Structure 1
């Protein structure tokens, strides 16, 4: 019996036809761990603002893998030796870079788990897949961790100019319709080069990098940190917080077993490392579990939980105020008085009024920098190579303080 053809071609709405380049990658895509990403939206609650923002981590991972293949093809074309094993490993690493995301991606990252970053879980799942695939992911794991002796592979996977960012900016612009965030990913990739196995950008790509950084800043304020998204995310976080409390009081029983495992205790990375049961339970969680729970909890007799769930289901979102400075105490007290007048007990106000701060920095050279290779082969940081003063300004962390509250809360 002949083996099935695993060199599949997929029709991607952003890039057109993209291919599954190897049998290993095909089998990883088919694995239940990766298929779960179909059920996790890329942008969390952004669909409350942009109705088309329904794409998933599954879409994004495949797109990033496609761009990785293009980047390696570019570097090979410039005379850099990259063997087939390295090429496949780099594509595997970027394909699986988000496999550790939980429901609603970043929104619930620290609400369901206790301080466990999704990249830590991605690495644990990659090790488990490596075990299942009899050591086939060893090189990909080294690249993902940054321990491989050729650092540019890790830079292509995780840096300020990686294939992850290239795809999510392209894809998020496409699905939200925010055309101002469009980047020239194809041109940027064509401008990539290596110096001493470090990733650099040719000088003629400066304008494309400038546009990339400006687009990223715009997308954060207009999409990722949009005020309506902040409201919806705040409500979801308070729902999970209230569910945790009720579970601890044995007053909430209609919870999926896998979700209850994480809401009934503070699960840390150490728990995952010590018991495979946690990792197995985590791979069963997705957005559907949360939405099904919210629908069920909207009928609960706890006023706080049911009110928040009904409001989110019906898109009766919190009111929000933004400021470049922390809010005066008098304003916060006035909002508290409004909620108290509605009959909300003082010790439960925090469920219906949330304060926070949103931060945005498009470029952080202190973490890792984008290096431009001038025509005379000198290497300079993009902030020094660019003629635009705005590029230096993008290195500043901008903060927007917010307070959102249930202005339209009713007891009916």
Structure 2
């Protein structure tokens, strides 16, 4: 019989295993809610999914029997929930495929229930509406990722979106050129970001407080200017020239994805480019390496010659410019006029997308698309005349946001120096 010496006992590593229960618990809650909904409001008839509409390569409508489809799909959802619990009990992390497949199946079941008795779900139209609502969220999420990767919490995304929307409508109305309005929106976002960077980085004021104050300040300022300038002069100062839709030949006629992705405005096409450039640049370029260095280990970055605070400052300004483009979407694409607080808190949902996406550009973009889909879903449910009260449908985007952040984001960690000012020496 061998015995362990004192030195071996001291240096023997201890393996600590943790059960990851958040995914399993979240899926269980959603499954129970769906099951109760299907039981208390039984479905009848058929559900119709309109895959394509008004394009060259059309696909016939898909008719499915509502009740069997709902319950078979719910059983598959329950199996995925059990799988998540099996992983949790076995101290394993569930793969990303599981919640994605769960979301697709549960949404299919829910839409089949909502479209019972011959209701029509326009798939392409629903996805296009979701993308439209997601554009400001994507730009805001990218701004949040850049700021927080550099160590600055960008709570002021809401203010950057709002001032961007105001600047865009003002300059576009005066010059009758949407591109000038877009540049003005970027400048508006940069102005808000400059104040945030100056107080948070230069004067070491708490970043959360500065961001909240800036949101309130921009809301009050744009509200005052709207009443004093835009409202009395709507024809000349609040009547923007918007970006038209530019359909890409052939690609725009592909069923489902064609009208959704390739019959869009300049700002949407620019979004594709910005997402790709930021995702590539953050992990493949010197800029991305320095950005991540000052957000994770500013002391080490300073040691190798990276100027921490200037790097943070300029990247916060870049984030503000990107958020400003998202603000321009409100007045240069959605509607040609500015109204008070028209961003309606989307800056905070964009911040939730940053957390849910794990401070990664691509994942934050996907999270923003999810929240945009949830927002558009309430409009679809209204059209389908579901028995769900309208108050609950208005809550839907925020419920999805809470479930996503509380159920999944708790497993990830922010950059180590996020929100922490750097004092050299």
Say which structure is richer in strand.
Answer: 1
Structure with max Cα Rg: 2
TM-score by length of 1: 0.23
